[in-house]
């Protein structure tokens, strides 16, 4: 899914929900985060609202980490 490691119970629940809904794990997680934000008792100020909008946009489009292919054998030349 991503570089972030979730607790195994959360990861299993996420996989289960993805199978049940027919969505990807990323979509399930994105919807859960968005629902949590909307239903939160704390109402965000403008800055937090803008940060949330940027986060949701990045989750939708993905984030290029700039990682390319590399030759693993060259790492262990002896």
Domain ranges of the chain: 8-60
Is pTM beyond 0.75 here? Answer: no
Give the confidence band of 36 by pLDDT, cuts at 50, 70, 90: confident
Q: What is the pLDDT of residue 59?
A: 79
38 compared with 28, residue with greater pLDDT: 28
Question: How many C-beta atoms surround the C-beta of residue 40 within 10 A?
Answer: 9
Q: What is the mean pLDDT of residues 15-21?
A: 89
Per-chain mean pLDDT for the chain: 77
Residue of higher predicted confidence among 43 and 32: 32
Alpha helices in 1-78 (DSSP H): 8-21, 25-39, 46-61, 72-75
- Give the pLDDT of residue 1: 42
- CB-count burial class (<10 Å; 0-12, 13-18, 19+) for 25: middle
């Amino acid at each position: 899914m991503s570089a972030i490691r979730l607790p195994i119970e959360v990861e299993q629940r996420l996989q289960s929900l993805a199978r049940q809904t027919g969505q990807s794990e990323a979509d399930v997680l994105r919807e859960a985060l968005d629902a949590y934000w909307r239903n939160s008792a704390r109402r965000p100020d403008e800055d937090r609202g803008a940060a949330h909008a940027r986060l949701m946009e990045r989750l939708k489009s993905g984030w290029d980490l700039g990682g390319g292919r590399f030759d693993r054998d060259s790492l262990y030349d002896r």
